[in-house]
Every structure is written in C-alpha cells, then in structure tokens.
Amino acid sequence: MTEPAHRFEGDYWTRSEWREMPDTARRVRLALGTEPLGVLPHLMPTVALPPAPKPLPPGPHPGTSLLADLADTQPITREALALALQGQDLLGGALWGFQHGEWLRLSAATVGQRPVYQALTVAWDLLELPGGSLTELAAYATHALHAAHTLAERLGIAVTREEPPADAARRAASLVLLKARFARSVELRLLAQGTPFPSRRLWRAAYGLGFGWGHLDLLHWPAAPKRALFTLTSAGKPGYFLPERAAEGESVPGLILSFELPSCPAPLETFDAMALALAHFREQLGGRPVDSAGRELDTERLEAERESVAAAVAQLEAAGIAPGSREALALF
C-alpha cells in the first residue's frame, strides 16, 4: 500500500480512489481537541533502520522453492514449448522462462509472449508440498521432478540441475516449522480497570509520543506510514479508531501495542520502544499491563517476553531469514 487507506461508508479508500475524502489532518484535530498537546517525543528512542528491502523480483526463488532447471545449447522456441505443454501436468509447479534479462511465468496462455527462451525452470513452492512426514514430502518431490523430466523429454532437452527429493523434503519441513513458530505478533496490552479509557485522552497521549493516525484507521509509531514499527489498536470492537468517535466521547476498554515479528526490521529495538510507550500510556491513562494471554506484565514477565523475541530473531537469522528481509517478507 503506497498511501494510507481510511474507512468511509463502511469501506477503506485511499485519497486517489476517492478524491473527495475529507482532509486527514482536519479529522485528526477533531480527536485531539483544541487544548495544547504536550509533545514528548524525547521519551521514545531513535531506532536506526536499514534501507527498506526491495521486493523479490518475479521468477523462481531458490530459498522457498524446489527447482528443476531445464537447459539446451540453443534457445527454446515458443512453438516447441507450446507443443510440449499440451496436456503436461507439472503437479502444481510454475514454469518460468528467461529472456531479455527477466523471468516470465509461462502457461498455455502466456507462452507466446516471447519468440524464444534462453532458459527454463520449473519451481514448486516448498510450503505447498502435500504431506506431513519427510517420507511423504520426499515422495511428492520425486513425482514433481519426474514431471519436469517429462517436459524436458518432450522438448528434446535435459534437466541440468535439481535438488535431491530428500533434501527438498527436509527444507520444506523446516520452512513449515519456521512459519508455524514465528508467523506471529508480539503484543503488549494495557487494560482499563473499572472506567474505560476516553479515546480523546488516548489519542492525545499517542500523538505526544510521535504516533500518527494512518493506514486502516490505526495509530502507528513512528508516524511515517512507510516505516512504522508498531501499531496501536483498541482492545475492544472495533479495533480501529475514528477521530469523529473520539470527538463524540468514545471510550475503549484497553489498548494493544503490537508488531509482526517476521516483517519487523528491528524487533528488539521495536520491543523496547513499545515497552516505553506502554509505560507512558499507563502513566497517562492508568490501567493494568498484561501480555497477550492476559497475564500480569510485571518486570520479570516483560523481560521474559523480550528474551522470547531475542530467541526468535536468533533462530530466524540462523535459518538465513533475518526479520524484515526480503526472504522473510516472501516467506511470511
């Protein structure tokens, strides 16, 4: 999303989609009110971020795919390829053709878009291989690679490089485990005790720390929408915030500070900033800090939560999938 989307008439629209969208700054002023806002950005740390990773280019990705490379001494014509693809089942694999410095995903409909192809690769997403055990995964990988050999025979060429099915099965099982363990949010919560939090006070406390109202009607820190590190949502329903409701006297039962572990470029620094924000909200609003399971978030548990994040980061990096990297964004 290149521009924030806000809720209007029950749906989300960007300014370019609906040119008559009310001015965001004017709406925010409704929530903040007219009293001077105590700005305290010095309470929050400066988090140095690496450059935002560019998306992975289209094409076969060896990190998350089982690949079979098909090659020939001469370019492969589209006529030969179209004939070979007739009735060919690649068992869920994607066929990619390389020409003029780019990969193009091929099918019966797209094979005619280039006159010749310099290279061909069949790719199977390792996370999509059916089966639970290593034996089942290896068996499917064997059948998939056999389909690639059949296509190569039809073209009169050879499969020049392929991963052993047993190795592919182990990689698939490892990726599935990584995704199951680490595709999660890191959360800190502050629940109101007795009287709910007035939304206007929450907005003012958030803006004092450098939050901004942004994409999907949530409060993000820092305010820059493209590099926000964590998000503030309501613990009630709905979880989003509308300035008009704050101006009307809305209250919420609590707040949730969170970020997605795999996509965060600086998980530990973000956790520390989130903990500081939680302490500030507690000072301004009161309430009881808890973890995502509702357990009291005392100093000991907060440290345990941080250690859990550190351990997850270490395991992801050991697997070659650093949080916030292109590989992590592609996998998660």
Q: Which residues pair with residue 188 across a beta bridge? A: 257
One-letter-per-residue 3-state SS of the chain: CCCCCEEECCEEECCCCCCCCCCHHHHHHHHHCCCCCCCCHHHCCCCCCCCCCCCCCCCCCCCCEEEEEEECCCCEEHHHHHHHHCCCCCCCCEEEEEECCEEEEECCCCHHHCCEECEEEEEEEHHHCCCCCHHHHHHHHHHHHHHHHHHHHHHCCEEEEECCHHHHHHHHHHHHHHHHHHCCEEEEEEECCCCCEEHHHHHHHHHHCCCEEEHHHEEEECCCHHHCCEEEEECCCCCCCCHHHHHCCCEECEEEEEEECCCCCCHHHHHHHHHHHHHHHHHHHCCEEECCCCCECCHHHHHHHHHHHHHHHHHHHHCCCCCCCHHHHHHC
User: Do the domains at 23-52+183-331 and 65-179 have one common CATH topology?
Assistant: yes
* Residue 118: how many other CB atoms lie within 10 Å: 15
Question: Which CATH number does 65-179 carry?
Answer: 3.30.1400
User: Domain locations in the chain?
Assistant: 23-52+183-331, 65-179
Give the alpha-carbon dihedral of 289, 295, 300, 302, to 10 degrees: -50
Q: Which residues pair with residue 196 across a beta bridge? A: none
For residue 113, the model assigns a pLDDT of 66
pLDDT per residue as tens, the chain (332 positions)? 468 889 877 788 888 888 777 788 899 999 999 888 877 877 888 888 888 788 788 899 988 899 999 977 778 888 888 888 888 899 999 999 988 889 989 887 777 766 788 889 999 999 999 988 999 999 999 999 999 999 999 999 999 999 999 999 999 999 999 899 899 999 999 999 989 999 999 999 999 999 999 999 999 999 875 679 999 999 999 999 999 999 999 999 999 999 999 999 999 999 999 999 999 999 999 999 999 999 999 999 999 999 999 999 999 998 888 999 988 888 88
User: What is the β-pairing status of strands 197-198 and 185-191?
Assistant: unpaired
The pTM for the full model equals 0.81
Match 């010095």 to its residue by tokens.
Answer: 42
Q: Token pair for residue 332?
A: 């998660």
Q: What's the CATH fold of domain 23-52+183-331?
A: Cell Division Protein Zipa; Chain: A, (3.30.1400)
